Amino acid sequence: MPKSSSRESRGRKPGSYQWYEIQDNVAYYAEFEKPKIVYPEIAKESRFAFDNKSLLFNNKAFIIPLNDLYLLGILNSEIAWKYTQSICTALGDENKGGRLMLQWVNFKRLPIPPASESEKEPIIKLVQKCLDAKGVNCEEWEKEIDERVAALYGL
């Protein structure tokens, strides 16, 4: 952690830093060591992933510090992505190869459907299958997740 200092260096926050040290408060750094959902700042399609290896990211990826495979299934669902397209800023025409900026200020408005444990469990198991398969040949499982999530939204 940076050491406090009474001297100020122009262009830097107060503190004694090595050239490679971060200047911002890293009070949440412990969250990177926990299982979490990660996603890119800019995406053409749903790209939410699960990290249980304590990976670190720069400012082009964000974390949701939750060990929640149900939420991961919701976030990667087709219906959630359609809603995300309506609330997040588009860079170019997203229907013609543009991307979305997944900024938390907009993205946090995504409604997460409430579900009983018996409704969550099949989604969690399907998400785990996709994770175990490392995303390869998961189309049928993803389709089933989409159907189950749509039902939770009442669609």
Q: Residue 52 domain-assigned?
A: yes
Could you tell me the pTM of the whole model?
A: 0.79
Structural domains counted in the chain: 1
Query: What number of other Cβ atoms are within 10 A of residue 36's Cβ?
Result: 21
Structure tokens at 44: 């053409």
The Cα–Cα gap between 32 and 24 comes to 16
Q: Residue 19 domain-assigned?
A: no
The Cα–Cα gap between 122 and 45 comes to 23
Q: Residue 63 domain-assigned?
A: yes
Domain span including residue 60: 29-152
Q: Residue 46 domain-assigned?
A: yes
Q: Give per-residue pLDDT as tens, 31-56.
A: 788 899 999 999 988 999 999 998 88
Per the DSSP assignment, residues forming a β-bridge with 63 are 38
Q: Residue 5 domain-assigned?
A: no
The reported pLDDT for the residue numbered 87 is 87
Q: How confident is the model at residue 11 (pLDDT cuts 50, 70, 90)?
A: low
Q: Residue 71 domain-assigned?
A: yes
